[in-house]
Amino acid sequence: MSTTSSPATRGPSATVSSAGSVVARSSSPIFLNRIRPTSLAVKDRCLICERRCVIKEGGFGFCRTKKNIEGKIHTTVYGYISSLSRNPIEKKPLFHFYPGSYALTAGTYSCNFPCPWCQNWEISKYPPEEGNGRYIAPEEFVELAISSNCQGTSVSFNEPTLLFDWSLELFPLARDRGLYNTFVTNGYMSEEALKRLIQAGLDGANFDLKGNKEVYRLLKADGEIIWRNLKLARKMGLHIEITTLIITGVSDRGSMIREIARRIVDELGPDIPWHLTRYFPAYRYDQPPPPISLLEDLFQVAKDEGIRYLYLGNVPGHRWENTYCPRCNSLLIKRIGRVENFLKDSTCPNCGYSIPLVD
């Protein structure tokens, strides 16, 4: 007999604190609600990400969120939320997408990548079956986003494709209520998964591009998958931005940044926003964070290759958190403290240069 059940008739109650965090309280058994068949599998093979795990009866896939129950692949984290908060869209980071807006952001547990330096390891390395998250139905999530004065939704904190089936139901509901939908992802989903997400209403995504082939080899993954998905997303009209975590001893070489910058310009275009983000010691990696001076050097390397919209992350108060006009260098969007947008109809007020922006 299958362990799945019908959707919950009543979701959790939740409130948003003055600090912007959301407190969710379950009013029904979460384990009955969160386990259900996934919509993207063939027999014992999960097809949501490119690991394409073949899962034996009673076993779990690499991400520990997909389980074979009576010969069918089930998700065990449908609507199973570990973390929930009201965040500025700039925190994703998405700098060219509804600047100054807020997104209700949710994540679950675990991940399909084994990064030893994970900056969110408290949830990405936590087994879902041992978690104390709360079930939130898509309909409840949309109502919570609206009641907390958010302009959109975001699936983030850990890899969002683990919430694939939940997202497919969430996105059209949110869009019907005037909300945008975003992902912060490692980009390792299958082509079919990405297509379904965009068709369901995914509007924007930040792709975590971890480095070159050497870095992805450490993670037992194929980095070309991310490039394939970036190109597919762009072709399908998804707003994309890229983040690369600058990790001491891993992704902090000028030659690597130059290689990535050239590929972005050649294969995606020079207008794709790219965030070079400062790593801090976490989980099983204890090298010191890179000096800010090194990040500034890498910034210049990427800029010299033609990237027009380049940013430094995890360096609070740095001028390169701001957006400047590529033509006249005028300050266009200031992000030190609160967001100040000086654009006029997405153009530079000084020289009239058109800035690629979703607003």
8 A C-beta contact, residue 111 and residue 63: yes
8 A C-beta contact, residue 93 and residue 119: no
Amino acid at 230: L
Give the distance, in angstroms, between the CA of residue 162 and the centroid of all CA atoms in the same chain: 11
CA proximity to 259, closest of 298, 208, 226: 298
N- to C-terminal Cα separation, the chain = 49
DSSP state of 268: I
Count the Cβ atoms, other than its own, within 10 Å of residue 173: 19
8 A C-beta contact, residue 81 and residue 24: yes
CA proximity to 83, closest of 110, 113, 64, 114: 110
328: annotated binding-site residue? no
Angle between helix axes 191-200 and 164-176 (nearest 10 degrees) is 20
SS3 (DSSP) at 105: strand
CA proximity to 93, closest of 257, 306, 277: 277
Half-sphere exposure of 149 (CA within 13 A, CB side): 7
46: annotated binding-site residue? no
Distance CA 26, CA 23 (A): 10
Please name every residue paired with 153 in a beta bridge, in sequence order, or none if there are none. Answer: 104, 181
Could you tell me whether strands 13-16 and 22-25 are parallel, antiparallel, or unpaired per DSSP bridges? Answer: antiparallel
Residues, the chain, total?
Answer: 359
H or E stretch covering 180: strand 180-185
Place of tokens 């919209």: 309
Which residues are documented as binding site? Answer: 111, 115, 118
Which residues are documented as binding site for [4Fe-4S] cluster? Answer: 111, 115, 118
